[in-house]
Amino acid sequence: MKKIQDHYFNRAKRDNYPARSVYKLKEMDKKFKLLGPGRKVLDLGAAPGSWSLFAAHKVGDRGLVLAVDLNEPGVSFPEQVSFVQGDIFEDSSEVARRIRENAPYDLVMSDMAPKTTGVKFTDQARSFSLAMQALEVAGSRLRPGGGFVVKILEGPDIRELQDNMRTMFKRVKHFKPKSSRAESKEIFLVGLDLTGPKQS
């Protein structure tokens, strides 16, 4: 496990990314074709900035990445990345205004993680809550046909998240990146081709 961890950590340093998490997004992009020139991306929980940097490279000069986090990323972004600091889920905030102004998006991606307590079920519940909130943003801000990527800690709530995504996307996939640490309980759900909520 240590060798894998060191490999991706060192590789990120060589590639000038602030965190090894970039390779998780690279794997998902390669498999699901999430990013491309001219696309518009919303990155929820963007710090320390690796996902936004990779997305910026993929969307190019004609694309846009709106990166949002409670914390400053601590890296310099290219011109096609716009960073806004604040709470994604406060409707009256500057963050919410910027998200609305730049909508609709081709991809909403969330690598958000809760502050962990070390209590398994508490951490899972907090992760699920963040994932559901990210899904709500995706449902209201994606264009038809758009995609969604969300991280969640493994637990019993994954089924509920997956079921909710299936009412909105034509395809929903589980993905465990090779670049995730072997001991990590994180997985990613990928929603492809937004259709909108099913009519009851």
- Indicate if 151 belongs to the active site: yes
Q: DSSP letter at 177?
A: -
Query: How are beta strands 64-69 and 40-44 bridged, if at all?
Result: parallel
Tokens of 82: 């716009």
Q: 3-state class of 68 per DSSP?
A: strand
Report the C-alpha dihedral over residues 27, 30, 35, 37, rounded to 10 degrees.
130
Choosing from 151, 170, 185, 198, which is the catalytic residue?
151
Alpha-carbon distance of 97 to 113, in angstroms, equals 23
**CB-based contact 48:70 (threshold 8 Å):** no
Residue positions annotated with a catalytic role = 151
